[in-house]
Amino acid sequence: MSSFRPAVVTVAMLAAVGLLTSCGGSGTGAQAKSDGEPVYGGTLTYLEHQPPTCLYLPAAGFYPNGGVLNQLTDKLTWQNPETLKIEPWIATKWEINEDATEYTFHLRDGVTFSDGTPLDAEAVAANFDVYGRGDDKLKLPPAEFVNNYERSEVIDARTVRFHFGKPSPGFLQGTSVIGAGLVSKKTIGLPYEEQCQLKNIIGSGPFTVAKQVVDKEIDLQARKDYNWAPPSSAHQGRAYLDLVKIIVTPEDNVRVGALTSGQADYVRYVQAYDEATVKSAGFVVQGEPTRGVNNGLYLRPANSILKDIRVRKALQAGTDAKEVVDTLFTDNYPVATSVLSHQAAGYVDLSDKLAYDPGKAGELLDEAGWTRGADGVREKDGVKLRLGVFVAGPQPLSKQTLELVAQQWAKIGVKLEIRPADAGTQAVDIKDAEKTAVNHSMVGRADQDVIKSQFHTKNRDVILSNDTKLDQLLEEESALADETRRNEKVAEIQRYVIDQGYAIPLFEEPQVYGIAPYVHGAAFEAVGRPSFYAVWLGK
Amino acid sequence: MTKYLLKRAGQALLVLWAAFTAAYILLQAMPGDSILIKFQDPELGLSPEQIAKIREYYDAGGYLHTVLGFLHGDFGYSVDTGTPVVERLAEGLPETAKLATCAFVLAVLLAVLIAFGSAYSGRLRGLLLAVPSLFISVPAFWLGILLIQVFSFRLRLVPVIGGTELQQLVLPVLTLAVPISAPIAQVLARSIDQVLTQPFVPVVAAKGASRSWILWRHVARNALPPTLTVAGLVFGELIAGSVVTETVFGRTGVGRLTEQAVNAQDAPVLLAVVVLAATAFVLVNLLVDVLFPVLDPRLAT
């Protein structure tokens, strides 16, 4: 009798909570004055999913890092997230030679870092020398958004020129990305482990660090003398807000609950299944596109089973991306129609090649000599058709996504082994095509070079490529100076990757934010990192 | 007595050494390491040769070197953040100490309330005695979220984001205290029952002592030693519980530090945490052993 009493009480407690939750009304009112004049002042409480890691600028792609650094640093150029055009910012104008091997930037006058030193040609040159080449002595790795960099040349205090060994058409966009944030000469001269630490990052951005509790909270204070926003920005001068409190709140439902109960104003990473809760409480769910290589499964040709293109193509045909999105995600996660997002530069619609066709998948596997065993899993020469994949920590609902795909693959006789490994095992096995036949990943960047980042053997190399033709295509793409021809090349690569069965694109991964109705002016850079510069509170 | 204490202290040192060595060996045996985890980041695009160079730079220099370092109070550098381990511990320790102390006091209060409450009341007895098994079966993780949902998000009594230090402590302390109070309450209630059956109780009652007098003056004292042992052992749970509690509530502290160090396989930090936890555990149990003879004069002789 007494043995099941705890269970009964637990159920009763749960029921009580359910009752409280359902009777509590709709939270804070949604009566925001949307048409009011912007107001200065106030504190924005922003909840972040994970603590920032290393804040060395080229490592800023990790969203928790980017969310902080986007407020602390300015870039040479500004990529308009609407048009993806590159517009002036710290550089007022620029010239590029015909074959894109020489870039000359003319800098805005009077810009200073928060330590008072000028943001001049010398400082810009020092930044890009590190981002372009890395620095062995300071243990600073080069940045993936700069290709073929040779050297910088300071023409005068406000003019700087960069030279490239080979054409580098992606460089102009590269100067606008989060990782190309400009830091003071003092910061860029520090060794890696010191540039990793927030206290050492001196930028020229609209906010500076006021306080930091490691792994818990970062307070950013508006810089009163800031007066160099991108010229096309509607807001100029200092930021509207006085203070931004970035608080690390790892627990998903604590973030969402804190937002809807009025304890926070703005949160990053609202899970797909929480979107309805946030909306029904009168809050805004904002899904920002990341405009890059889609969230998908990447198949490794070096694996002894996947070396057969027919198997790869069979897996492609046997995966129903639409079911994944319909079951697990929302409208903020569009079904993939190519390797790249439909908002990416150089995108081409390949949905006809990606149709779900389990019949065709079965035929391809039969043809490749894989026959069904007694347990439903196909085998050939005594080897089971079994493939390993790691749960991808940074990807939303990666485990659930993989489980659903595993069910789909089971129908065509393929066993997908999902491994929720610790970071150490993953770091070792992810580079082993036998153990990790399939990679679940994505990468965001609003430039054609993003496809090179994902597939080139010298970059992320997610498929552990042994395909020299693919490398060659990617190198050609990254060196084409003409925009139209470059887009054609990117289209060719997308077709090639799909035709070779290297990729099973699932969906276009967004960054999803929850925002209180009284928060105005929420803006994002081209791949979905927030900018608090023009944010104001209308409450 | 002195001999007893010396023996216990010697044992304590041995336990510490064993904990350190076991942790050291286990961390070495794990696949991959913090350097690989941190620097194989595709965004950094480092070659295996470059990573090998970084590993050389961070190399801590073997077991003996590490032991000597620990003896000098030098715990090395956290690979994950590049800061000295001592600094990271100094950030976390006061927060966890606050949380754990408050939780322990509350747990003991809850336990005493439950145990003596059940000894007093006739009809509520069954219900009260079921409370420990309920408490111990509640996962701290779930309890934390439940408390937040009810008291912070629904009733809006305490904020989880911002707020004063006291407000920040209330819910985490409750979360940590509840599961810990269970074994203490269980053992205390059981001991009270046992002591109540002993022949001296009816004797005292026959002399005209009230039930309260018997419970507090005679039974409590005799029921205390086993409870104290359990309380000492429960200290380990306190450390484990702080990992979950600090993560759910987004607090800084040794628990959160441990969680992050485990994720990053940050060996220097983990070694330091193991030694710190083992030291605290050993000290508390040493204290319990020292108190024993005081409470039970039979042991002193």
Predicted pLDDT of residue B84: 83
pLDDT(B225) > 90? no
CB contact under 8 A, B82 and A5: no
Report the range of poorest mean pLDDT among A9-13, A384-388, A472-476, B219-223. A9-13
Residue with more model confidence, A116 or B38: A116
Measure B251 CA to nearest chain A CA, in Å.
Answer: 7
The nearest CA of chain A is from the CA of B47 a distance in Å of: 8
Terminal alpha carbon distance of chain A: 55
CB-based contact B133:B182 (threshold 8 Å): yes
Locate the domains of chain A by residue range.
46-288+512-537, 293-508
Considering only the beta carbons, identify the residue of B36, B45, B247 that sits closest to A458.
Answer: B45
pLDDT digits (tens, 9 = 90+) for A289-301: 999 999 999 999 9
**Among A80-89, A209-218, B13-22, B114-123, where is mean pLDDT lowest?**
B114-123
Which residues contact residue A212 at a Cβ distance below 8 angstroms, ignoring those fewer than 6 apart?
Answer: A198, A199, A218, A219
Asked whether the predicted pLDDT for residue B188 surpasses 50, the reply is: yes
Please list every residue in chain A whose beta carbon sits closer than 8 Å to the beta carbon of residue B79: none
Q: Would you place residue B60 in the very low, low, confident or very high pLDDT band (cuts 50, 70, 90)?
A: low
A263: which chain B residues are within 8 Å (Cβ-Cβ)? 152, 159-162
Contacts of A201 in chain B (CB under 8 A): none
- Distance between start and end Cα atoms, chain B: 8
User: In this predicted structure, what is the pLDDT of residue A53?
Assistant: 82
Q: Retrieve residue A25's tokens.
A: 């009304």
Residue B301: the pLDDT is 58
B161 and A263 within 8 Å at the Cβ level: the answer is: yes
Radius of gyration of chain A (CA): 25
Q: Do residue A424 and residue B161 have CB atoms under 8 angstroms apart?
A: no
* Residue of B153, B165, B259, B260 to mutate, interface with A, max A Cβ within 10 Å: B153
Residue in chain A lying closest to B27 (CA)? A424
- Say yes or no for a CB contact (<8 Å) between B152 and A257: yes
Using the predicted structure, report yes or no on whether residue B68 has a pLDDT greater than 90. no
| Nearest Cα to Cα of residue B154 among B171, B138, B140 | B171
Query: Which residue in A333, A316, A293, A289 sits closest to A461, CA to CA?
Result: A293
How many contacts (CB atoms, under 8 Å) link A and B? 148
* Whether B133 and A45 lie within 8 Å, measured CB to CB: no
Chain A residues inside the 8 Å CB shell of B246 = none
Mean pLDDT confidence for B146-162: 92
Looking at residue A29, its pLDDT comes to 34
Give the per-residue pLDDT at B284: 86
- Cβ-based contacts of B99 with chain A (< 8 Å): none
Closest alpha carbon to A63 in A526, A531, A511, A538: A511
Class of domain A293-508: alpha beta
pLDDT band at residue A35 under the 50/70/90 scheme? low
Mean pLDDT of the residues in chain B: 86
Which residues have C-beta within 8 Å of that of residue B28, sequence separation ≥ 6?
Answer: none
Indicate whether B58 pLDDT > 80: no
Q: What is the mean pLDDT of chain A?
A: 91
pLDDT band at A537 (very low <50, low <70, confident <90, very high): very high
**What does DSSP say about strands A438-443 and A293-299: parallel, antiparallel, or unpaired?**
antiparallel
Q: How far is A467 from chain B (nearest CA, A)?
A: 19
Residue of A nearest to B252 (CA): A216
Output the six-digit token pair for A157. Answer: 């205090």
Cα→Cα distances A78→A55, A86, A395, A448, A525, Å: 21, 6, 27, 17, 9
Least Cα separation, residue B78 to chain A (angstroms):
11
Question: Which residues does chain A have within 8 Å of residue B154's beta carbon, measured at their own beta carbons?
Answer: 20-21, 24, 261
* A chain contacts of residue B57, beta-carbon cutoff 8 Å: 139
CA angle A241, A534, B160 (to 5 degrees): 50
Q: Is the pLDDT of residue A21 over 80?
A: no
**3-state class of A263 per DSSP?**
coil
Residue from B35, B38, B39, B44 to probe the interface with A (highest A Cβ count within 10 Å): B44
Please tell me which of the candidates A62, A213, A430 has its beta carbon nearest to residue B252: A213
In the numeric block, the tokens 């009011």 are attached to A36
How would you classify residue A19: left for phi > 0, otherwise alpha for psi between -120 and 50, otherwise beta?
A: alpha
Which among A51, A142, A196 is the nearest to B82, CB-wise? A196
pLDDT in tens, A43-66: 999 999 988 888 999 888 889 999
pLDDT-derived band at A25 (thresholds 50, 70, 90) equals very low
* A262 and A25 Cβ atoms separated by less than 8 Å: no
CB contact under 8 A, A196 and B81: yes
Contact A256, A228 (CB under 8 A): no
Question: Sorting pLDDT into bands at 50, 70 and 90, what band is B43?
Answer: low
Based on its alpha-carbon atoms, the radius of gyration of chain B, rounded to whole angstroms, reads 24
Name the band, by pLDDT with cuts 50, 70 and 90, for residue B300.
low
Q: What are φ and ψ of residue A95, in 5° steps?
A: -125, 140
Cα–Cα distance for residue pair B229/B274, rounded to 1 Å: 22
> Which among B94, B88, B95 has a CA at the least distance from the CA of B268?
B88
Using a CB cutoff of 8 Å and minimum separation of 24, what contacts does A218-225 make? A218/A52, A218/A68, A218/A245, A218/A246, A219/A243, A219/A244, A219/A245, A219/A246, A220/A68, A220/A71, A220/A72, A220/A244, A220/A246, A220/A532, A223/A114, A225/A112
Contact B43 A47 (CB under 8 A): no
Give residue A10's pLDDT band: very low, low, confident or very high (50, 70, 90).
Answer: very low
Would you place residue A32 in the very low, low, confident or very high pLDDT band (cuts 50, 70, 90)? very low
Distance CA A120, CA A156 (A): 9
Q: Do B263 and A423 touch (CB under 8 A)?
A: yes
Residue of chain A nearest B28, judged by CA positions: A424
pLDDT greater than 70 at residue A156: yes
Set of chain B residues whose Cβ sits within 8 Å of the Cβ of A17 = 146, 149-150
For the cut 80, the answer to whether the pLDDT of residue B296 exceeds it is no
Identity (one letter) of the amino acid at B116? Answer: F
Q: What is the pLDDT at residue A218?
A: 96
Determine the pLDDT at residue B298: 75
The predicted structure's pLDDT at residue B80: 77
Q: How far apart are CA A298 and CA A505, in angstroms?
A: 8
- pLDDT for residue A531: 97
Determine the residue of chain A that is closest to B79 in CA distance.
A193
Mean pLDDT value of segment B173-189: 93
pLDDT in tens, B241-282: 899 999 889 888 999 899 889 888 888 899 999 999 899 888
Residues of B in contact with A264 (CB under 8 A): 161
pLDDT at A18 over 60: no
Tell whether the model's pLDDT for residue A22 goes beyond 50: no
A214/B252 Cβ within 8 A: yes
Identify the sign of the CA torsion B185, B190, B194, B197.
positive
In this predicted structure, the answer to whether residue A13 has a pLDDT above a threshold of 80 is no
What chain A residue is nearest to B138 in terms of C-alpha separation? Answer: A10
Q: What is the pLDDT of residues A484-529, one digit of tens each?
A: 999 999 999 999 999 999 999 999 999 999 999 999 999 999 999 9
Smallest Cβ–Cβ distance between B30 and the set A424, A459, A461 belongs to: A424
A178 vs A224: CA distance, rounded Å: 23
Substitution target from A259, A263, A266, A456 for chain B, most B beta carbons within 10 A = A263
CA distance A380 to chain B (A): 31
User: Do the Cβ atoms of A59 and B43 come within 8 Å?
Assistant: yes
B37 with A257: Cβ contact below 8 A: no
Residue B204 CA to its chain's centroid (Å): 39
Predicted local distance difference test score (pLDDT) of residue A472: 97
DSSP A177: S
Q: Which residues of A touch B80 (CB under 8 A)?
A: 53
Question: Do A52 and A64 meet the contact criterion of CB atoms below 8 Å apart?
Answer: yes
Task: Select from A215, A253, A431 the Cβ nearest to the Cβ of B260.
Answer: A215
B149 contacts on A by Cβ (under 8 Å): 17, 20-21, 253, 257
Measured between alpha carbons, how far is A408 from A414 in angstroms, rounded to an integer? 9
The CATH code of domain A46-288+512-537 reads 3.40.190.10
Taking an 8 Å cut-off on Cβ atoms, the answer to whether A459 and B45 are in contact is yes
With a cut of 70, say whether residue A84 has pLDDT above it. yes
Task: Give the pair of three-digit tokens for residue A490.
Answer: 């990117």
pLDDT category of residue A19 using cuts at 50, 70 and 90: very low
Across B180-219, b (16+ Cβ under 10 Å) vs e yields: bbbbbbbbbbbbbeebbeeeebeeeeeeeeeeeebbeebb
- Say whether pLDDT at A26 is over 50: no
CA atoms of A120 and A108, how far apart (whole Å): 8
Look at residue B45 in the predicted model and tell me its pLDDT.
Answer: 65
Other C-beta atoms lying within 10 Å of the C-beta of residue A458: 13
What is the rounded distance in angstroms from the CA atom of residue A209 to the CA atom of residue A205?
11
Residue with tokens 């107001």: A39
Does the pLDDT of residue A114 top 60, yes or no? Answer: yes
In this structure, are residues B78 and B84 in contact, taking their beta carbons and an 8 Å threshold? yes
Residues of B in contact with A197 (CB under 8 A): 81-83
Q: What is the percentage of chain A residues whose pLDDT exceeds 90?
A: 78
Q: Which of B128, B116, B150, B138 is nearest to B227 (CA)?
A: B116
Residue among B32, B57, B152 whose CB faces A261 most closely? B152
pLDDT, greater one: A442 or A27: A442
Mean pLDDT score, A212-225: 93
The mean pLDDT of A317-327, rounded to a whole number, is: 97
User: How close B64 comes to chain A (CA, Å)?
Assistant: 24
Among A60-64, A223-227, A459-463, B256-260, top mean pLDDT goes to A223-227
Distance of CA A319 to the CA centre of its chain: 24
The SS3 assignment for B183 reads helix
Q: With CA atoms as reference, report the closest residue to B132 among B255, B227, B201.
A: B227
% chain A with pLDDT above 70:
94
Distance CA B292, CA B227 (A): 11
The tens digit of pLDDT for each residue in A239-264 reads 999 999 999 998 898 999 999 999 99
- Ranges assigned E (strand) in B76-157: none
- Using CA coordinates, name the residue in chain B closest to A13: B146
Contact indicator for A514, A280 with CB cutoff of 8 Å: no
- Residues A125/A156, Cβ–Cβ less than 8 Å: no
Instruction: Answer whether residue A8 shows pLDDT above 50.
Output: no
Task: Extract the tokens encoding A330.
Answer: 């929302």
Asked if residue B49 has pLDDT above 80, the reply is: no
Distances (CA, A) of A518 to A71, A222, B156: 21, 20, 20
DSSP string, A415-469: EEEEE---HHHHHHHTT-TTT--EEEEEE--SSTTHHHHHH-TTTT-TT----HH
Is A254 in contact with B248 (Cβ distance < 8 A)?
yes
Contact predicate A268/A513, CB 8 Å:
yes
pLDDT band at A222 (very low <50, low <70, confident <90, very high): very high
Q: What is the mean pLDDT of residues A94-109?
A: 96
Question: What pLDDT score does A302 carry?
Answer: 95
ipTM of the complex: 0.82
